[in-house]
Structure 1
């Protein structure tokens, strides 16, 4: 009888272990699938944010193109505008590469005339008008990049956004100085 009890207990433990292991495997698989689904949603959210940023970069590139092609910028200012445009092209390229790495589809650039219409380029009558538009766009981009940092699921993307915001802030500062505008008097002026 003792032998039968021992055999029954071993059989019960073996079956219980298999059931427990099977339940654990199912739980792990379900958890893995849930984690994968959540990671996929997080990646999609990050790609969405990056595509908005890419749209801003497309706009900036085209705004500088409109300014450079307007004939309103004097030589030293034109050189700075072209340099800033090259920064935005580098931003664009980095964003496109990141979006593709994450499996996303980068938002396409629009034709120049669509940007001209949206930016009301026909009203740019002087160098100051062009610089004011550029400064406005740079400030908007600075605040947008700073504003999205907490939204990224991947912290490394937040760091990239901070670096882009630093470039935009530098652009805004240079343009503001060229326009003779005072820098912000208070601290924590950006991203609010």
Structure 2
């Protein structure tokens, strides 16, 4: 079975549900319009505040992604990563670049201004003496990213943004698990993230 075609070709039941939901949304919109312009204006102000809040959340995530890109660069340039670990670090750095590009694009599409990467991050490079130190440093950043996205997902007013953030959360969790395993630790230390 071709799973991609299954995902891209909605069933007739799914299309029927979409039409029903669409009709309900249109009906709710009509009621709001008939209910009075004051209520509609209040809703527009709330939507604008929620939109601005989503942009702020995205920019916070973008700043963290830039930090991760810079951190992996420090690790790659440290000379401490073996030939078996360096390509993985570069792959993870590439993931963070992709996240940053997607988030910056979303901020721009929403009319916001994406934050810029810092010139310096003040990483504890003096404490990176061995490969394990670099891995532990990266694992700590990935764990922090997991926590940050876990906290951000329910805050998005735009559920599509929440979905993208949840997808990135999954990627960060995989990075963290792989780094923990490389350190000889249990890759998944518990059944729940907190």
Q: Which TM-score applies when normalising by structure 1?
A: 0.80
Alignment of 1:125-136 (within 5 A): 125-136=129-140
Instruction: Could you tell me which runs of 5 or more consecutive residues in structure 1 were left unpaired when the two chains were aligned.
Output: 1-24
Deviation at 1:99, TM superposition (A): 0.7
Say if 2:72 is the partner of 1:64: yes
Of 25, 33, 37, which aligns to 2:45?
37
Matching residue of 2:19: none
Matching residue of 2:159: 155
Of 173, 178, 186, which aligns to 1:169?
173
**Cα distance per residue 1:107-137 (max 9 Å; x no partner):** 11011xx21x1x2122111111100000000
Q: Secondary structure of 2:79's match?
A: coil
Of 112, 133, 145, which aligns to 1:141?
145
Q: Work out the CA distance in 1 between the residues paired with 2:189 and 2:92.
A: 25
Matching residue of 1:90: 98
Task: Check the 8 A contact 2:59/2:115 in 1, yes or no.
Answer: yes
Deviation at 1:178, TM superposition (A): 0.7
Give the number of equivalent residue pairs.
163
**Cα distance per residue 1:39-76 (max 9 Å; x no partner):** 11000101111111001100000000000011111112
Deviation at 1:181, TM superposition (A): 0.6
Q: Secondary structure of 1:72's match?
A: coil
CA-based RMSD = 1.8
Deviation at 1:33, TM superposition (A): 2.5
Deviation at 1:184, TM superposition (A): 3.8
**Cα distance per residue 1:148-191 (max 9 Å; x no partner):** 11111111111111100100011011111111111345311x1x
Instruction: Could you tell me which runs of 5 or more consecutive residues in structure 2 were left unpaired when the two chains were aligned.
Output: 1-32
**Which structure shows the higher helix fraction?**
1
Larger-Rg structure: 1
